[in-house]
Amino acid sequence: MVMLNEDTIEKFIRENKDKFSVYRLPDSHLEKFLFKLNYRIRHIISIVPYLFRVAVATVIIFLASILIWNNYIRKDRHIVTLKNKITLSHSQNNIS
């Protein structure tokens, strides 16, 4: 297998410069190119609804996991925090 690097490609282009301007593409080339481009774009567009559904499901699962962790799994959910103690002591002092 021939290894092409930048220098060999540049040398090839310089040596064959006149051949690049003479070569004419077949008439059907543009039609084939547009057909392939249209197929690829259609393929990408056909995936978009599925990607959107996956994104929505991911967000829902993420939010549900946060809610479940916060309400059922978190160990310190019943522990009185310092902020709650200060609020409770102030409210009791104001009542007395």
**pLDDT (tens digit per residue) in 23-52:** 777 888 889 988 888 888 877 777 888 999
Is the distance from CB of 38 to CB of 44 less than 8 angstroms?
Answer: no
Answer yes or no: is 42 within a domain: yes
Distance CA(18)–CA(10), nearest Å, equals 14
pLDDT at 1: 54
Say what the pTM is.
0.42
HSE-up (13 A, CA, CB side) for residue 21: 4
Answer yes or no: is 20 within a domain: no
Answer yes or no: is 4 within a domain: no
Answer yes or no: is 2 within a domain: no
Answer yes or no: is 54 within a domain: yes
pLDDT at 5: 83
Distance CA(69)–CA(84), nearest Å, equals 21
Mean pLDDT over the full length of the chain: 82
Answer yes or no: is 5 within a domain: no
Q: Is residue 96 over pLDDT 60?
A: no
Answer yes or no: is 37 within a domain: yes
Tell me how many domains the chain contains. 1
